[in-house]
Structure 1
Amino acid sequence: MKMLLIVEATQMAFPDLELVVMYFKNENYDVVLTGLERSGHIIRPMANIIDNVDGTALYKDAKLDCIMKCYQDLMNERDASPESTHIISNRGQDLAVAILLGTEFTWGFDIS
């Protein structure tokens, strides 16, 4: 619910930007990945990675290497036990993968 409010507030304040939000969760940690989209480019992807055992922030505004490590852990766990890991995205899992790996997808990739 909070993510939806953030998206709506961002779009009202900056109508030319769209906030892209991905949420990854397993039993060890939560990953919230955000990026701003403008004219088909994802700008400044960031992530907050939370240890959901004790609630501490493992990384705040984590860079891509941290995000990729956690994402790979999640994918490995999902493959081994699909019911334990949930991926929610307002743009789809493929875009999440593109952002995390720094590759081009339907949109370009720009972290400048």
Structure 2
Amino acid sequence: MITRTAIFEGAIKPGCEAAFFDAIRTRLAPLWGQFPHARNARLLRVDQADADAPPIVMIQQVDYPSLAALDEALASPVRAKARATTLEILEMFEGRFYHVVSAGNAVEGHCED
């Protein structure tokens, strides 16, 4: 499995917090599931972080079955629409966003306290 992660580093402009997350939820999130081969879209709002952590507001992740499937998704017309919507929503955001792609499997077993 391949996961494409978008990291939103910075801050939401003052007074725009509710509108920002509402736009993500109602305008952008529905597009994530329309990407070809997309599986398991996740939106993670950062509530707490270490004192020396970068100011990450939000993390978005979408899983794909392979790099070829991800490449197909990124070449699709849905990406252009999602990108345009993202840029509109980012008018309420000060900072940057970037993507990382990772491969891996779930860790089997469990941790004990």
Q: TM-score w.r.t. structure 1 length?
A: 0.31
Q: TM-score w.r.t. structure 2 length?
A: 0.31
User: Which one has a bigger Cα radius of gyration?
Assistant: 2
Greater relative contact order, per chain length (Cα 8 Å cut-off, separation 6+): 2
